[in-house]
């Protein structure tokens, strides 16, 4: 069945009037609904920070080189060496931040290698070259350094978040980097050096990570050892502006969510004055030790990935509970600075694109479920960064030479943009959970997942139907408000494995979805395996 007729048949099955019109229709005879959703905008709570929809980009495989950096002399359309399409598409989803330069790369990176005349920059060792055939790429050319990174941030309007080198760098090297970036020209010599390299204005970088995965590739440390090093790195931190300092947090996808790291770190910080603004949480929906594939999967494998993705909520709750013991006022918030699906190797997008993988509709639904969880925990999370934006694990884009494609994940970022700066609206979803069969055995999962937020008179509602079998008719009711207009968009495809490829770039993309209004109710039918966004005008 073609995509258009799939959507139309789904809409008719749900009893909605499928006119294709964007406007909701009044007076349509209500069809029975499977799921009732009640929204209470008058009880709206915390604001959804735009920083939840942030990015992580690392010097790894095809992420920076080829993906983002094509070079100033490239025939590929670019802005000062940065792929223009990447900039344009990220601006279109209001990308709020980039975490850079790693990842495991960060703790081997020496920032001075990436400044000064491009042809004089050294070729250096990249942590990832051990996994990457050197004939294709791997050795670090340092053509993309901090000035190029800041140019990317300026072009996209995103906030920079720099991960410092704790694993193999010194405190002085780190502080020099901060001074180079943030001191006003005409003050420190390092600031004048920055100006001589083309940037008179300070970079004003607020977010600084003190290492990355210090329990692993970032230093193989015990949490108490890291706490000591953390204090060494932050005590004399050059304060040119109010900075936000981020400590390495747990490996959240470990079976016990790595709460031992969290406890050990905060034990090590007990009674000390050093500030910890952010505590990094990594959560990979990690299938590296399995036979799962990114592009081809069975029905149980679909549910396994979504269920394991949703378990990020347990990693948040379990680690938060430990943090509460040490920091009851919660001065420290989570920075979920690496999250996404990670399948076993073997499906790389291009030669040398280490840990890149195809992205399907399954990854898109996982994205929506993850964002809903971030919204629910808006009190605990200050920022999140998808790993990684392009040519990697849970990517929004795939690019190779002059080819570029938006993945289904990109469109979820587009749908959820409506939540940025909205206040979380309590949402009650009726009905039981559904029984599904995952690879691990029978399991339960919600019939419908979702979240809602309000900004002035606009209510944004995002809903996911994870079922591979059936559409779901939904009736939304607003407590204390009427709806004067409703619009809906959907991301779905009849093939659960649908992906956008260089050959077929637009197989999965957004479509309008019929929505009806009757009195205080809004009705919409969620196609099977879909993410739906509604924008409701209230009166
Ligand atoms: O995103 C890929 C890698 O995963 C990062 O470099 C590292 O921090 C994590 O283990």
Tens digit of each residue's pLDDT (9 = 90 or more) over 64-107: 999 999 999 999 999 999 999 999 999 999 999 999 999 999 99
The sign of the torsion formed by the CA atoms of 455, 39, 372, 448 equals negative
Query: Could you tell me which residues come within 8 angstroms of residue 147 by beta carbon, excluding any fewer than 6 positions away?
Result: 115, 197, 198, 199
Q: Does residue 107 line the site of ligand 1, with CB under 6 A? A: no
How far apart CA 385 and CA 284 sit, in angstroms, is 12
Which pLDDT does position 136 carry in this prediction? Answer: 66
Distance CA(360)–CA(197), nearest Å, equals 42
Antiparallel, parallel or unpaired: β 403-406 and 423-424:
unpaired
Q: Which residues contact 514 (CB under 8 A, 6 or more apart)?
A: 11, 16, 17, 18, 19, 20, 21, 488, 524, 525
For residue 36, indicate whether it is catalytic.
no
Residue nearest to atom 2 of ligand 1 (CA): 103
214 lines ligand 1 (CB under 6 A): no
By DSSP bridging, strand 54-56 and strand 530-538 are unpaired
24 contacts 484 by C-beta, under 8 angstroms? no
Ligand 1 atom nearest residue 340's Cα: 1
Annotated active-site residue in 338, 348, 440, 485: 338
Task: Quote the CA–CA distance of 128 and 64 in Å, as a whole number.
Answer: 13
Q: What are residue 192's phi and psi, to 5 degrees?
A: -70, -35
Query: What distance in angstroms lies between residue 430's CA and the mean position of ligand 1's atoms?
Result: 38
DSSP lists the bridge partners of residue 447 as none
Q: What is the pLDDT of residue 431?
A: 82
Query: Residue 270 burial (CB < 10 Å; 0-12/13-18/19+)?
Result: exposed
Task: Give me the pLDDT at residue 432, please.
Answer: 80
Rounded to an integer, what distance in angstroms lies between the CA atom of residue 299 and that of residue 420?
Answer: 33
pLDDT, tens digit, 9 for 90 and up, residues 163-176: 999 999 999 999 99
Which residues of the chain have a pLDDT value below 50?
1-31
Q: Which atom of ligand 1 is nearest to the CA of 216?
A: 10
Q: Which residue has 């979805």 as its token pair?
A: 513
Work out the angle between the directed axes of helices 312-326 and 361-376 (0-180°, nearest 10): 30
The pLDDT of residue 481: 84
The reported pLDDT for the residue numbered 520 is: 78
Ligand 1 atom closest to Cα of residue 213: 8
Active site residue 428: no
Q: What CA–CA distance (Å, rounded) separates 345 from 312? A: 23
- Give the 3-state secondary structure of residue 476: strand
What is residue 134's predicted lDDT score, i.e. its pLDDT?
66
Q: What are the tokens at 360?
A: 């399907």
Q: Is 211 in the pocket of ligand 1 (CB under 6 A)?
A: no
**Ligand 1 pocket: which of 102, 163, 384, 388 to mutate (most atoms <8 Å of CB)?**
102
Q: Tell me the C-alpha distance between 269 and 246, whole Å.
A: 14
d(CA 295, CA 280): 30
Residue 367, token pair as written in the block: 């994205």
Q: Which of 55, 56, 57, 58 to mutate to test the pocket of ligand 1 (most atoms within 8 A of CB)?
A: 58
């Amino acid at each position: 069945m073609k995509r258009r007729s799939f959507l139309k048949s789904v809409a008719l099955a749900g009893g909605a009037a499928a006119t294709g019109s964007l406007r909701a229709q009044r007076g349509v005879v209500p069809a029975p609904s499977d799921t009732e959703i009640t929204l209470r905008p008058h009880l709206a709570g915390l604001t959804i920070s735009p920083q939840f929809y942030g990015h992580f980009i690392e010097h790894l495989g095809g992420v920076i080189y080829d993906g983002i950096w094509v070079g100033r002399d490239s025939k590929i359309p670019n802005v000062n060496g940065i792929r223009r399409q990447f900039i344009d598409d990220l601006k279109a989803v209001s990308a709020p931040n980039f975490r850079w330069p790693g990842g495991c790369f960060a703790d081997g990176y020496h920032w001075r290698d990436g400044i000064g005349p491009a042809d004089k920059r050294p070729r250096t060792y990249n942590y990832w070259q051990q996994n990457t055939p050197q004939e294709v790429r791997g050795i670090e050319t340092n053509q993309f350094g901090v000035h190029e990174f800041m140019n990317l941030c300026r072009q996209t309007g995103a906030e920079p978040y720099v991960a410092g080198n704790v694993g193999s760098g010194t405190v002085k090297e780190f502080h020099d980097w901060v001074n180079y970036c943030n001191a006003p020209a005409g003050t420190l010599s390092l600031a004048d050096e920055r100006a001589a390299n083309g940037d008179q204005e300070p970079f004003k970088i607020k977010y600084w990570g003190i290492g990355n995965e210090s329990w692993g590739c970032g230093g193989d440390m015990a949490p108490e050892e890291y706490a000591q090093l953390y204090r060494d790195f932050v005590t004399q931190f050059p304060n040119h502006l109010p900075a936000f300092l981020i400590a390495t947090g747990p490996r959240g996808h470990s079976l016990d969510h790595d709460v031992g790291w969290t406890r050990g770190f905060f034990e090590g910080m007990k009674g000390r004055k050093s500030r910890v603004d952010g505590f990094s949480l990594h959560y990979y929906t990690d299938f590296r030790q399995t036979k799962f594939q990114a592009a081809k999967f069975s029905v149980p494998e679909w549910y396994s990935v979504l269920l394991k993705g949703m378990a990020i909520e347990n990693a948040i709750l379990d680690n938060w509970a430990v943090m509460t013991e040490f920091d009851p006022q919660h001065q420290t918030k989570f920075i979920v600075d690496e999250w996404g699906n990670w399948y076993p190797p073997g499906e790389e997008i291009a030669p040398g694109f280490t840990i890149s993988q195809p992205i399907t509709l399954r990854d898109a639904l996982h994205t929506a479920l993850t964002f809903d969880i971030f919204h629910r925990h808006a009190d605990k999370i200050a920022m999140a960064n998808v790993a990684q934006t392009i040519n990697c694990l849970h990517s929004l884009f795939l690019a190779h030479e002059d080819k570029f494609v938006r993945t289904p994940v990109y469109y979820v970022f587009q749908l959820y943009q409506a939540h940025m700066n909205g206040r979380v609206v309590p949402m009650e979803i009726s009905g039981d959970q559904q029984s599904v069969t995952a690879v691990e055995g029978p399991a339960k999962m919600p019939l419908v997942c979702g979240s809602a937020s309000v900004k002035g008179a606009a209510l944004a509602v995002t809903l996911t139907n994870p079922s591979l079998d059936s559409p779901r008719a939904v009736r939304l009711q607003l407590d204390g408000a009427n709806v004067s207009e409703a619009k809906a968009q959907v991301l779905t495809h009849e093939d659960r494995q649908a992906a956008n490829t260089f050959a077929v770039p637009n197989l999965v993309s957004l479509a309008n979805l019929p929505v009806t209004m009757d009195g205080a109710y809004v009705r919409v039918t969620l196609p099977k395996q879909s993410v739906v966004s509604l924008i409701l005008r209230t009166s």
